[in-house]
Amino acid sequence: MKIGVLISEGPYTHQAADTAFKFVTAAIAAGHEVPRVFFYHDGVNVATRLSVPPQDERNIQQNWSGLAKEHGTDLVVCIAAAQRRGLLDENEANRQGKDANNIADGFRISGLGQLIEMGIQCDRLVTFGD
């Protein structure tokens, strides 16, 4: 079964990103395919490479980046939500005249069309967050 995942709550303030990560890893271990995870609203904050949690806490961004590297899962960050929150990849930073970018490895910025496409192509769409 193909499962698409939508995360709409930020890390460290809500359990959605952690729960979604555990769900995705369990689904993959059970033989399901998770081709894409879409980060929306405050969920885009998972994608920042500048977060530095204490050493004795989980690193949510690194967990997701590692999953993308290991399983090829497409981690898509909503462009409008990302820009509102100061998250930019290199292309968007240049386009907006900013001098830095902060999107972590394994994530990419794109539009809501990717969410719609995921909903069409997957057998199930599971949401985490409000």
- Catalytic residue list contains 122: no
Q: Which of 6, 78, 79, 118 is catalytic?
A: 78
Q: Where are the beta strands (DSSP E) in the chain?
A: 2-7, 33-39, 74-78, 107-110, 124-128
Phi-psi region of 97 (alpha: psi -120 to 50; beta: other; left: phi over 0): left
CA distance 113 to 14: 26
Residues with active-site annotation: 78
